[in-house]
Amino acid sequence: MTISRRKLIVTLGLGSAASLLPRAAFAAYPDRPIHLIVPFAPGGNADIVGRIVGERISSALGQPVVVDNRGGAGGGIGAEFVAHSTPDGYTLFVGSNGPLTVNPFVQAHLPYDPLKDFAPVALTSYVPHCIILNDKVEAKTLPELIALSKKQPINMATSGVGSATHMTLERFKAATGANITHIPYKSGGALMPDLMGGAIQAAMTEFSTALPLHKGGNARIVAVASAQRSKLAPDIPTFIEGGVKGFTAQSYIGIVAPAKTPPAIVAQLQKAVAAGLTAGPAPDKLRGMGAEIATPEQMTSAGFAAFIRTDYEHMREAAKLAGIVPK
């Protein structure tokens, strides 16, 4: 059979054009390892949750998930890397308060836009914030602590200026009129020895960090900023029960992809995350850390996007209250 010159040119042209098409046009996603970027050092909350969720994604999609820790700039270095990565589903980001909703209000000239440069996949979990007191503080309840602070200032530590817990502290002060002096530390773990030793009176920190001290009798949590009491410590009332209407705050973890990642791939990833957090070992592992599992709606792309926007506005308000100017 002979082929006309015209047909040959068309055929070769199509072949050249086809070679320029993305790999996804020829192979089902995923057909190679997925890289999951954690924007903090190994061992922290984001790293631990990221690895647990990464295992579930790998199991569901049949490809390895390689965790890559890229710390620095409050999570900004890892966020920038993912924001500028190819949107093909092979580079994902373990997003949290810092890079997604705090950095825009504490860092000038942020090299990425958290609301435009990412495609939310699913919220996975969150750890409520709480107030923990050393044993020398007379107050036994949140209302007593607020009342005591108005008689004599209370010093309260957080994991640093512009941290998620600092933002929560500023919102708490604004909501209650509590007279509290902020003492910034480098991390939630770093402040605990001083809390137990009496160098600081109180801390606004993550529930998972404070819970061992509370259970060990070394300090006491007076309120947790969740909608309901934790099943791990049902004796601890919420801020809402303590009279601070509607007050919730948390450090959250979720999975996002670069913006313009194909919706079909985002949907496939979302399904894998949701399935992994509703059955199997992952939910129990996260709850054992003091985390709360995201609701089914929050595990959707739209639900996580709405969650990010709400927290973004909370952080904008908190930054104003704290007088934080981006640097």
Per-residue pLDDT reduced to its tens digit, 258-278: 999 999 999 999 999 999 999
Are 137 and 191 in a shared domain?
Answer: yes
Are 122 and 176 in a shared domain?
Answer: no
Average pLDDT, the chain: 89
Q: What percent of the chain has pLDDT over 90?
A: 69
| Predicted local confidence at residue 236, as pLDDT | 96
Smallest CA-to-CA distance from 185 within 172, 200, 170, 171 is with 200
Are 61 and 93 in a shared domain?
Answer: yes
Are 41 and 188 in a shared domain?
Answer: no
| Predicted local confidence at residue 1, as pLDDT | 42
8-38 tens-digit pLDDT:
344 444 444 444 444 444 469 999 999 999 9
105 has a pLDDT exceeding 50: yes
Domain of 140, CATH number, reads: 3.40.190.10
* Residue 78 resides in a domain: yes
* Residue 26 resides in a domain: no
Are 182 and 317 in a shared domain?
Answer: no
| Predicted local confidence at residue 143, as pLDDT | 97
Are 92 and 143 in a shared domain?
Answer: no
Question: How many Cβ atoms from other residues are within 10 Å of residue 306's Cβ?
Answer: 15
Are 55 and 202 in a shared domain?
Answer: no
Are 94 and 158 in a shared domain?
Answer: no
Find the Cα–Cα–Cα–Cα dihedral 214, 155, 207, 169, rounded to 10°. Answer: 160
* Residue 1 resides in a domain: no
Q: What percent of the chain has pLDDT over 70?
A: 92
Are 132 and 213 in a shared domain?
Answer: yes
| Predicted local confidence at residue 19, as pLDDT | 44
Residue 220 pLDDT grade (very low, low, confident, very high; cuts 50, 70, 90)? very high
Domain boundary among 224, 243, 275: 224
* Residue 60 resides in a domain: yes
26-72 tens-digit pLDDT:
469 999 999 999 998 887 788 889 999 999 999 999 999 999 999 88
Are 66 and 120 in a shared domain?
Answer: yes
Are 67 and 101 in a shared domain?
Answer: yes
| Predicted local confidence at residue 162, as pLDDT | 82
What one-character DSSP code corresponds to residue 222? E
What is the separation of C-alpha 57 from the centre of its chain, rounded to a whole number of angstroms? 18
163-197 tens-digit pLDDT:
889 999 999 999 999 999 999 987 777 888 999 99
Segments forming the whole domain that contains residue 75: 33-126+252-322
Are 54 and 132 in a shared domain?
Answer: no
